[in-house]
A and B are shown apart, each in its own frame.
Chain A
């Protein structure tokens, strides 16, 4: 039985969607896939790895990571702060929950077949995630993507081996929290390291500065001599690894807390 109210709501939603999309296209608010790039996109793409214009380059062939950590670096730091707040609020909601092997359920996991397959896959997930993060300034990917990929590993392990085994293996709340805090502290450190080093020399520099500018000739060099000349794009490499630590450990932590047995949460609510 279709109610008149539902029909009215559906029709009005469809009409509003049609009107808005007509306005978007006819008034050119959003483009209908134009042939030419926007000037801003062309600026980024042409200068991101252009060593001839060293005052505009980011020292990395990857435009996305360069914009993320160099051109719009401060923006990303604040977005990491939002991420930090969301995770810390989640932990604060269940702060009395103690994750020990005795309290984390009595599960023994799935069958031997599932466990054997997961053992093989489980080893490869952190490696792939770390590779995504380390090659963040060379290929598509970076700290955010690598960290999100890493967070799949505890989810898979929890669903196959059960939470108790994971907690016994040492995925404790404190350890993951420490890893995440280390990542965030490293981001803060790298953000001000160029300022600190150039202040010793008596020249000005910006927070989150990557490559030198004519008016602020400070910065980490894009190519360092490590055995061979190696491209690490200044701060981008280190920021990607720090963000990988922060996002991977933070998401793993909230996933481990999210699947903890509801009985423990019952006790906690009564205590409150």
Chain B
């Protein structure tokens, strides 16, 4: 029961951060705040994915222990079954690894866009930028 409550608390906090970051992206007019909130959103999603792969009593990473470049004996099915009982779920980690690097690259791209917009319009407020673009076209 306490375990259930604890995990409910975890999910509630993560969901709160998730919705706060969506609020920040949608409502706040400052582009920099939008970018910060987007990075918080992607990090929260990554933590959520890693948490799904977590299990009670499983402590070792999904790497078969004791293997180096010079391998003498390959493990058999029984020892691998023992290993599978202790290791955490590898699949969410795989999905998160690439998401982190791509998130960083996208963050850099958005930063470049924000820098260029600030150089051109002198502000990061989206309402001001839209007003200036409209003023230029008229």
CB-CB under 8 A from B106, the residues of chain A are: 86
Question: Quick check: is A142 within 8 A (CB to CB) of the other chain?
Answer: yes
Spot the interface stretch: B29-37, B50-58, B125-133. B50-58
Instruction: Contact check, A258 vs B91: say whether CB atoms are below 8 A apart.
Output: no
**Once the chains are docked, how many angstroms separate the CA of A251 from the CA of B102?**
10
Instruction: Contact check, A89 vs B109: say whether CB atoms are below 8 A apart.
Output: yes
**Closest residue on chain B to residue A19 by CB atoms:** B15
Q: Which of B62-107 contact A (CB under 8 A)?
A: 62-65, 67-71, 74-77, 80-81, 83-85, 87, 89-91, 93-94, 97-98, 100-102, 104-106
CB distance from B83 to the nearest CB of A (A): 7
Per-residue CB contact flags for chain A residues 223-267 toward chain B (1 = under 8 Å, else 0) read 100001111100000000000000100110011011000100110
CB distance from A220 to the nearest CB of B (A): 16
**Closest residue on chain A to residue B15 by CB atoms:** A17
**Once the chains are docked, how many angstroms separate the CA of A113 from the CA of B90?**
43
Question: Quick check: is B116 within 8 A (CB to CB) of the other chain?
Answer: yes
Question: Quick check: is A45 within 8 A (CB to CB) of the other chain?
Answer: yes
Question: Quick check: is A207 within 8 A (CB to CB) of the other chain?
Answer: no
**Once the chains are docked, how many angstroms separate the CA of A120 from the CA of B101?**
27
Question: Quick check: is B47 within 8 A (CB to CB) of the other chain?
Answer: no
Instruction: Contact check, A230 vs B94: say whether CB atoms are below 8 A apart.
Output: no
Question: Quick check: is A37 within 8 A (CB to CB) of the other chain?
Answer: yes
Q: Which 5 A-B pairs have the closest CB atoms?
A: A61-B64, A45-B84, A86-B105, A21-B11, A63-B62
CB-CB under 8 A from B100, the residues of chain A are: 144, 148
* Size of B's binding interface in residues, CB under 8 A: 64
CB-CB under 8 A from A87, the residues of chain B are: 105, 108-109
A50 contacts which of B4, B69, B75 (Cβ < 8 Å)? B75
CB-CB under 8 A from B119, the residues of chain A are: 262, 265-266, 269
Question: Quick check: is A48 within 8 A (CB to CB) of the other chain?
Answer: yes
Decide yes or no: A144 and B101 within 8 Å by CB, A13-B16, A52-B76, A262-B119 being known contacts: yes
**Once the chains are docked, how many angstroms separate the CA of A229 from the CA of B67?**
13
Spot the interface stretch: A64-72, A122-130, A182-190. A64-72
CB distance from A61 to the nearest CB of B (A): 4
Q: List 10 A-B contacts (CB under 8 A).
A: A14-B16, A25-B8, A30-B51, A36-B55, A86-B106, A94-B116, A144-B97, A144-B101, A223-B71, A258-B115
Instruction: Contact check, B112 vs A34: say whether CB atoms are below 8 A apart.
Output: no
Question: Quick check: is A24 within 8 A (CB to CB) of the other chain?
Answer: yes
CB-CB under 8 A from A232, the residues of chain B are: 69
**Once the chains are docked, how many angstroms separate the CA of A93 from the CA of B65?**
46
Decide yes or no: A68 and B98 within 8 Å by CB, A231-B71, A251-B105 being known contacts: yes
Spot the interface stretch: A76-84, A104-112, A163-171, A191-199. A76-84
Question: Quick check: is B120 within 8 A (CB to CB) of the other chain?
Answer: yes
Instruction: Contact check, A93 vs B80: say whether CB atoms are below 8 A apart.
Output: no
CB-CB under 8 A from A147, the residues of chain B are: 101
Instruction: Contact check, B74 vs A51: say whether CB atoms are below 8 A apart.
Output: yes
Instruction: Contact check, A64 vs B11: say whether CB atoms are below 8 A apart.
Output: no
